[in-house]
Structure 1
Amino acid sequence: MHPLGEEDALIPRPRGALPVVCAVVLAVLITVGGIVFLSPEGMCGCIAMVTLILTLGPLLHGLCLLTEELLHHSNTRYRGRGLLSQVLQACGLGGKTLFAAVLSGLLLYLVGHPQPHECHCWVLCLLVSVLYTLFKSLGILSPSEVEVSDICEGRKMNVAHGLAWSFYLGYLHLVLPHLENSIAAFRASHQSSSVWRRGSRKLLILIPLNSIVTHKLEDEDSNISFYDNLPNTEIDRAGVRGRVYKHSVYRVTDENGEAHDCVCEYATPLLTMYRMSHESSAAFGESERRQQVLLFYRTLQEILEQSLECRNHYKLILLNDNHEDDPHFLSKTILRHLQQQENEEFCVTPPPHQEMAHPLVRPMLNAENGIYHNSDPMSREPTIQMSLPQSLKVPVENTDHYGK
């Protein structure tokens, strides 16, 4: 444990503007020195030429990034927005870099191309180094949004990655292994009622793209009603004895009036994303929030698919936000996923009457092992025939009594 007085020495402070000041001072010194040894027109021409060289590279690289974004990510990452609204900015084809390139080209046109004797090699080397440092510090040559996003996704540095791992390790990894026992205890305590005749025994995790979470599902859709809570799961966690984790059972009514029971809840990290997008100090806008929600869904899905403890105990449901005209969008989406789960489930050991491939063919009992099998070799339902283990000792015939 460190004393309280040493906290200032341990906690890093935000980085300041000292690199920018140093770069500006260095550029001024080199420019003044170049004007002394060269003519002002020649020095301005050299500066314009070096600036154009430094900015053309990022602009050409931005065109390469633009090709990738338009062909593969215009709908998923930018929701089909206009070319000039967001995609060009994200690829670095707008703002400071484009302004610097246009200004240097205009200056080079007005001053004229410098002659070879006016731009010595040592002057070019110094100007390239100094102007690169200056433009890098001012953000003119900073990475584009696409490059930053690629780096953050590749190194798992996004907000979505941290929230997905926190949601898994701090909640799902703890409660999903106990979900089946909780549902069994719940059904045992509600045997007199018509509970869970139809529905799913998985945890349905709702992930809306707009990250708008309602605390009561029945407030969002009238076809959904709260039924009861599952038995609490108590786990000693981080110094808290018997920390309580609970799930709610909801009853979803379809168009025919039939009730489907399920354990359903929103992904709570979406509340954090929504609050961050409304805090100016978080620098987390609505467009970034939507992108982070999609990354959260993808990351959480990858994590859960590799978790043996959570397998077959969950279902992620991604909710689109284009459903303002449908008041029962949530219930329809849940019912569609429930129907999909019912179609995916099948009986591992079908009943005997389903094993008959033909009504005239009847199963016969194997006298040795007592197992039914179909006598029709063309039966659609294959059966496993087993025989009881027999002794390896071969009986020996003894005929000595005939010789007596």
Structure 2
Amino acid sequence: MVELPNERGHTAGMCMIGLISVLLIGQGMVFCTEGMMETVMYVVTGSAIGIFTVGLLHVAWRTCFLAEELCHISGRYPDKKSAAQKAYEFNMISSCVCSISAIIAVLIWVILENPYVYLWTKGPVSNIIPYLAGFCFSKLIQMEESVLHTSLQIESMKNLDYGSGMAYNYFYGYLRLVLPDPEVGTPGAKGIRKRIETFMNHHRLLKTAFPVRKLFILIPRNLYTPTDLMEVSTDWHNSTNYWMEAAMSLETQELDRAGVKQRVYKNSVYKIWNRDRSTLYPVYVVAEGATPLKTFYDVIKMNPKMSRVFKNHQHEIVSAFYKTLQDILRDSDDCRDLCEIIFYADTDENQRRVNVARIILERIEKLTR
């Protein structure tokens, strides 16, 4: 039986506490000959200034990254205020510790003297110890923790993040099976284009009725994709004038997969009318939402424990899914020209739902121009 790795414990934290204790004892030992009061004053001043200074350095570090975030407001944040809030967010322990340290530093300055000057007069070696202790303590309480910090970690994970993982699963577990013509030895199976041609022949459709013979994958920025795309195919000022309706599906694809015999894969065909032009005939398209994002949407809605964490980084996860899926398709000779990904904002600046049919028609017009 394969032994699974155990969950990591608190050994690192205990070692960090031991290191901080050694540094604090070292601080006290420097002045143990000058009396208890002087020793306590030095240790308190050093601890407060060390933590306060490290906190200021964290603020400066976050300011540098905020400057970069302000260049990408439109794609990541509702406004500049929201970006600043996520950049300067501290966890509760860090906020309390930094506040207490600042209060102590101010009191020492008022009652005694400038605490930085006070520490420096004790010599350079003893002056360095408080800052080392403050740095170690900041790591213990995870002072660097913030929404922005986690977002930067997600970007640096090199396709090991949640969004990229969903993209790889989606491609190798679904798209690679339904898009290209199957390998020899899979009787009755067809690629997406052959199944579209079969659909056109069966319904006697002209080539102009099915202008783009690809699978359109919809990736809404806010994740929501309804069961029937007709629900999101109206303009906000006319919610009953639908632009899309489901036609029949393409013929099903049956493949043996992971112990399941004849697993069924199917794709839906939609008819789209351009209501602005009052066209007599619809345009046909194979379209669907990205199912992993629908699952992600359900996790956010139904799992209270993880909903806040995922919602804070929702846009980063969706963006990683989209970019990774694009890269995978671009590198795939078999699937590159069989799929069209549409990443779109599903609400406008007034938070009104957009018409997905318009977006699809715009992409079709661009591809056929």
TM-score w.r.t. the length of structure 2 is 0.78
Give yes or no for contact 2:90–2:146 (8 Å, CA) kept in 1: no
Find the residue that maps to 1:74 and give its secondary structure.
helix
Give how far 1:208 is off.
1.0
Which residue of structure 2 aligns with residue 264 of structure 1? 287
Q: Structure 1 residues 299, 41: closer, same or farther in 2, change over 3 A?
A: same
Counterpart secondary structure, 2:199: helix
How far is 1:107 from its partner? 2.1
Q: Is the 8 A contact 1:230 1:249 kept in 2?
A: yes
Question: 1:21 Cα deviation (Å)?
Answer: 4.8
CA distance in 2: counterparts of 1:311 and 1:156, whole angstroms: 20
- Segments of structure 1 that go 5 or more residues without pairing to the other structure are 344-404
> After superposition, where does 1:72-87 map in structure 2 within 5 Å?
72-80=71-79, 82-83=80-81, 86-87=82-83
Separation in 1 of the partners of 2:85 and 2:139?
A: 18
Q: Which of 312, 315, 318 is the equivalent residue of 2:343? A: 318
Q: Deviations over 1:152-207 (max 9, x none)?
A: 2232232111111111111112211111111122223333x668634321111111
Tell me which of 100, 104, 108 is aligned to 1:107: 104
Aligned residue type for 2:300: S
> Displacement, 1:105?
4.0
1:226 aligned partner: 246
SS of the residue 1:214 aligns to: coil
* 1:23 Cα deviation after fit: 4.0
Please tell me the residue identity of whatever aligns with 2:175. Answer: L
Partner of 1:190: 203
In structure 2, the partner of 1:280 is 304
Matching residue's letter, 1:311? R
Q: For 1:198-220, what per-residue CA distance to the aligned partner results, in whole angstroms no more than 9, with x for missing partners?
A: 43211111111111111112333
Alpha-carbon distance, 1:117 to partner? 7.8
Structure 1 position 60, deviation (Å): 1.5
What is aligned with 1:90? 86
Which of these residues, 202, 222, 230, is aligned with residue 210 of structure 1?
222
Alpha-carbon distance, 1:320 to partner: 1.6
Q: Could you tell me how far apart the structure 2 residues matched to 1:87 and 1:326 are?
A: 23
SS for the counterpart of 1:250 is strand
- The residue type equivalent to 2:130 in the other structure is L
Percent of aligned pairs sharing the same letter:
25
Structure 2 residue aligned with 1:365: none
Deviations 1:8-47 (A, max 9, x none): x52422x344544554465456546644615122222222
Figure out how many residues of one structure are paired with residues of the other and give that number. 330
Aligned with 1:243: secondary structure? strand
Map of 2:43 onto structure 1: 43
The Cα shift of 1:233 comes to 1.8
CA RMSD of aligned residues (A): 3.0
Q: Which amino acid aligns with 2:229?
A: L
| Residue 152 to residue 289, structure 1, CA distance change in 2 (3 Å) | closer
CA displacement, residues 248-274 of structure 1 (integer Å, 9 cap, x when unaligned): 111111222321111111110111221
Provide the C-alpha distance between the structure 1 equivalents of 2:354 and 2:260, rounded to a whole number of angstroms.
40
1:41-67 superposed Cα distances (whole Å, 9 cap, x missing partner): 222222233223322322221111111
Structure-to-structure mapping, 1:304-343, within 5 angstroms: 304-323=329-348, 329-343=355-369
Alpha-carbon distance in 1 for matches of 2:193, 2:210: 16
Structure 1, 57-66 or 147-156: larger mean CA deviation: 147-156
* Contact 2:346/2:353 (8 A) holds in 1: no
Q: Which amino acid aligns with 1:74?
A: I
| Matching residue of 1:394 | none
Q: Determine the structure 2 residue equivalent to 1:134.
A: 137
Looking at secondary structure, tell me which structure has more helix per residue. Answer: 2
**Secondary structure at 2:75 match in 1:** coil
How far does residue 108 in structure 1 lie from its aligned partner after superposition?
2.6
Q: Which amino acid aligns with 1:248?
A: S
Does residue 165 of structure 2 align to residue 167 of structure 1?
A: no
CA positional deviation for 1:300? 1.4
Deviation at 1:135, TM superposition (A): 1.8
Aligned pair partner of 1:119 in 112, 119, 122: 122
Report deviation, 1:309: 0.8
Shift of 1:120: 4.6
Instruction: Give the conservation status (yes or no) of the 8 Å contact 2:214–2:339.
Output: yes
Give the counterpart of 1:10 among 1, 4, 10: 4
What is the one-letter code of the residue matched to 1:108? A
Instruction: Please identify, of 233-242 and 200-209, the stretch whose mean Cα deviation from structure 2 is larger.
Output: 233-242
Normalization by structure 1: what TM-score?
0.72
The residue type paired with residue 366 of structure 2 is: Q
Q: What does residue 355 of structure 1 align with?
A: none
Query: How far apart, in 2, do the equivalents of 1:328 and 1:128 lie?
Result: 53
Query: Where does the alignment leave 5 or more consecutive residues of structure 2 unmatched?
Result: 181-190, 234-241
Change in Cα spacing, 1:187 to 1:284, as seen in structure 2 (3 Å) is same
SS of 1:249's partner is strand
Q: Deviations over 1:216-250 (max 9, x none)?
A: 12333322122111112222222223322111111
Cα distance change on mapping 1:34 and 1:335 into 2, 3 Å: closer
Q: 2:59 matched to which residue of 1?
A: 59
